[in-house]
Amino acid sequence: MLFNSLTFILGFLPVVLAGFYFLTSNGRPRFAAIWLTLASLVFYGWWNPLYVPLLVGSVTLNFLLGGYLIRHPSRLALTLGVAANLGLLGYYKYTGFLLGSLDQAFALNWQVEDILLPLAISFFTFQQIAYLVDARDGEVQEHDFVHYCLFITFFPQLIAGPITHHGEMLAQFRERTTFRPRLGALSIGATIFVLGLFKKVVIADPLGETASPVFAVAAAGSIPSLYDAWIAALTYTLQIYFDFSGYSDMAIGLGLLFGVRLPTNFDSPFKARNVIEYWSRWHMTLTRFLTAYIYNPVMLRVTRARLAAGKPQPRRGKMTPGAFFALVAYPTVLTMFISGVWHGAGWQFVVFGLLHGFYLVVAHGWRAYKARRGWKLDSEHPLHRTLAVLLTFGCVVVAMVFFRAADVPAALAILSGMLGLSPDPADLTRADGSSFLMIALLLAFVWTLPNLQQWMKAYDTALHARPRPHWLQRLPALHWRPTPALGAVVGVLGFFALALAFSVAPTEFLYFQF
SS3 263: strand
- The pLDDT assigned to 47 comes to 87
Together in a domain, 398 and 461: no
User: The whole model's pTM is what?
Assistant: 0.93
| Terminal Cα distance for the chain, rounded | 16
Together in a domain, 283 and 261: no
Together in a domain, 221 and 154: no
- The pLDDT assigned to 63 comes to 96
CA pair distance 238, 250, nearest whole angstrom: 18
CA pair distance 309, 324, nearest whole angstrom: 16
Together in a domain, 126 and 34: yes
Would you tell me the crossing angle of helices 226-257 and 205-219 to the nearest 10 degrees?
A: 140
Per DSSP, the chain holds a count of helices (H) and strands (E) of: 23, 0
Q: 463 φ, ψ to 5°? A: -70, 135
> Can you give the three-state secondary structure of 323-344, one letter per residue?
HHHHHHHHHHHHHHHHHHHHHC
Listed residues 181, 208, 237: the one ending a domain: 181
Together in a domain, 404 and 441: no
Listed residues 413, 429, 445: the one ending a domain: 429
Number of domains in the chain: 3
Together in a domain, 209 and 350: no
| Closest alpha carbon to 254 in 324, 175, 191, 160 | 191
pLDDT digits (tens, 9 = 90+) for 251-270: 999 999 999 999 999 999 99
CA pair distance 354, 369, nearest whole angstrom: 22
Band the pLDDT of 120: cuts 50, 70, 90: confident
Together in a domain, 114 and 262: no
Q: 266 φ, ψ to 5°? A: -155, 125
Residues with catalytic function: 343
Together in a domain, 159 and 33: yes
Listed residues 412, 429, 446: the one ending a domain: 429
Q: Is the dihedral of CA 143, 147, 150, 156 positive or negative?
A: negative
Name the percent of the chain lying above pLDDT 90: 60
Band the pLDDT of 440: cuts 50, 70, 90: very high
pLDDT digits (tens, 9 = 90+) for 354-379: 999 999 999 999 988 888 888 888 88
- The pLDDT assigned to 332 comes to 95
- The pLDDT assigned to 479 comes to 84
- The pLDDT assigned to 399 comes to 97
CA pair distance 339, 353, nearest whole angstrom: 6
pLDDT digits (tens, 9 = 90+) for 31-69: 999 999 999 999 999 988 989 999 999 999 999 999 999
Would you tell me the crossing angle of helices 347-373 and 408-418 to the nearest 10 degrees?
A: 60
Together in a domain, 37 and 9: yes
Together in a domain, 378 and 454: no
List the single range of 183-197, 328-342, 421-435 with lowest mean pLDDT: 421-435
pLDDT above 60: residue 425: no
CA 339 to chain centroid, in Å, comes to 11
How many other C-beta atoms can be found within 10 angstroms of the C-beta atom of residue 182? 14
Together in a domain, 160 and 13: yes
pLDDT above 60: residue 131: yes
Together in a domain, 60 and 175: yes
Range of the domain at 95: 1-181
